[in-house]
């Protein structure tokens, strides 16, 4: 085992403010379950892709987070889900956008990567492809929770812009496996009251999700449009031989700079030596990590 790389996993449940209708204990329980689901696979020798997908499936299946089951509603009262995975050895990636009936969008993203010649499928075509690949289809009712209906009602009553939302709740995971391969996965329901068809940064490779074994795997959460415009994930993961700053320092700088131009949010990342990064410019970012020392960390605020 001594020649093996350290293993590590970090997960997030979205930067922003916690939903007041759930307790920290409830959040903690799911975060621990998700981190352990991924870490167990890493311990058993599975790939970082397996680990990040397993962790995100747990978060998607929980009503606490804005992804899968707990997705927010768009301005028409519907749900549209985005997700992406990427692995850092060959820079392979898969993503889906604006889908309405797949139980676990992250599994659909993975099958786009592994079973299609494409990186991104959206809408009805993505749904048809995922169904043909045996992804579980659910009725729209599966996603509709009373909590999200109330949230949309408040949003529409306040005539807010989706850009004003401070509750992001996107989920993501990054991991390093014993073969030194990095992977990232992100899944989201987007922003409350978004226009139908809107995609944020989550499913866009280089915006909200990226992985490169030379630098890091990264998963973002926040005001998606700002993360797209500033190419946040790729900004952190792009190989740059000239930087003396650590991964953590560079991530902190990017997230601070983003705040200066009005972009709220955060990111998690893991480097090729197991460096753990969790940076955010919002009040909280629910997160969990298990690093090379095997210790589990669960945190919310700074």
Which distant-in-sequence residues (6+ apart) come within 8 Å of 194 by Cβ? Answer: 74, 75, 80, 162, 200
Residue nearer to a second copy on the CB measure, 96 or 288: 96
DSSP string across 20-85: TTS-HHHHHHHHHHHHHHHHHHHHTT--HHHHHHHHHHHHHHSTTSSSGGGPPP-TTS---EEEEE
Q: Which one, of 270, 175, 185, 282, lies nearest residue 226 by Cα? A: 282
Calculate the alpha carbon distances from 158 to 42, 151, 162, 165, 166 in Å. 45, 11, 11, 11, 14
Closest distance of CB 64 from a second copy, Å: 26
Residue nearer to a second copy on the CB measure, 18 or 204: 204
Residue nearer to a second copy on the CB measure, 62 or 202: 202
152 binds a second copy (CB under 8 A): no
Closest distance of CB 26 from a second copy, Å: 31
Q: How many residues bind a second copy (CB under 8 A)?
A: 48
Q: Which of 122, 156, 296, 297 binds a second copy (CB under 8 A)?
A: 122
- Residues serving a catalytic function are 170
Distance CA 266, CA 253 (A): 11
Closest distance of CB 211 from a second copy, Å: 10
| Binding segment toward a second copy, per CB under 8 A, in 18-26, 30-38, 40-48, 155-163 | 155-163
Closest distance of CB 261 from a second copy, Å: 8
Q: Which of 37, 64, 85, 120 binds a second copy (CB under 8 A)?
A: 120
Residue nearer to a second copy on the CB measure, 36 or 216: 216
**In a 10 Å sphere around its CB, with 0-12 CB exposed, 13-18 middle and 19+ buried, how is residue 144 labelled?**
middle
230 binds a second copy (CB under 8 A): yes
Strand order in the sheet with 216-222: 209-212, 216-222, 265-270, 276-280
Q: Which of 67, 81, 126, 220 binds a second copy (CB under 8 A)?
A: 126
Q: Which of 32, 231, 297, 298 binds a second copy (CB under 8 A)?
A: 231
155 binds a second copy (CB under 8 A): no
Asked if 270 and 9 count as a contact pair (C-beta separation under 8 A), the reply is yes
Which distant-in-sequence residues (6+ apart) come within 8 Å of 231 by Cβ? Answer: 206, 207
Closest distance of CB 122 from a second copy, Å: 5
Asked if 227 and 208 count as a contact pair (C-beta separation under 8 A), the reply is yes
Q: What is the Rg, in whole angstroms, of the alpha carbon atoms belonging to the chain?
A: 17
DSSP 98: E
158 binds a second copy (CB under 8 A): no
Residue nearer to a second copy on the CB measure, 230 or 259: 230
| Contact set for a second copy, span 32-91 (CB under 8 A) | 80, 86, 91
Distance CA 42, CA 95 (A): 23
Distance CA 227, CA 200 (A): 8
123 binds a second copy (CB under 8 A): yes
Q: Which of 137, 150, 153, 161 binds a second copy (CB under 8 A)?
A: 161
Closest distance of CB 181 from a second copy, Å: 15
The residues that touch a second copy, with contacts defined as CB under 8 A, are 80, 86, 91-93, 97-98, 116-129, 161-163, 194-200, 204-207, 210, 224-225, 228-231, 234-235, 238, 240, 242-243
């Amino acid at each position: 085992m001594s020649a093996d790389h350290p293993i590590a996993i970090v997960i997030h449940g979205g930067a922003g403010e916690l939903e007041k209708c759930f307790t920290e204990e409830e959040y903690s329980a799911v975060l621990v379950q998700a981190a352990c689901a991924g870490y167990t696979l890493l311990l058993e020798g599975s790939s970082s892709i397996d680990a990040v997908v397993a962790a995100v499936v747990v978060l998607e299946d929980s009503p606490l987070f804005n992804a899968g089951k707990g997705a927010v509603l768009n301005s028409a009262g519907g749900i549209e889900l985005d997700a992406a995975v990427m692995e850092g050895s060959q820079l392979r990636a898969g993503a889906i956008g604006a889908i309405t009936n797949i139980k676990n969008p992250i599994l659909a993203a993975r099958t786009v990567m592994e079973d299609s010649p494409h990186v991104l499928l959206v809408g009805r075509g993505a749904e048809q492809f995922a169904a043909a690949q045996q992804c579980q289809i659910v009725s729209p009712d599966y996603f509709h929770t009373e909590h999200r209906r109330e949230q949309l009602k408040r949003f529409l009553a306040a005539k807010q812009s989706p850009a004003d939302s401070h509750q992001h709740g996107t989920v993501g995971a990054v991991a390093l496996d014993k073969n030194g391969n990095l992977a990232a996965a992100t899944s989201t329901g987007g922003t409350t009251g978004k226009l139908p068809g809107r995609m944020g940064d989550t499913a866009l490779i280089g915006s909200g999700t990226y992985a490169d074994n030379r630098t890091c795997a990264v998963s973002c959460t926040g005001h998606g449009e700002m993360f797209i415009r500033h190419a946040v994930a790729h900004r952190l993961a792009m190989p740059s031989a000239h930087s003396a700053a650590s991964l953590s320092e560079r991530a902190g700088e990017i997230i601070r700079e983003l705040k200066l131009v009005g972009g709220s949010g955060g990111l998690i990342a893991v480097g090729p030596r197991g460096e753990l990064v969790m940076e955010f410019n919002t009040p909280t970012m629910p997160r969990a990590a298990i690093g090379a020392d095997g210790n589990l960390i669960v945190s919310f605020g700074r």
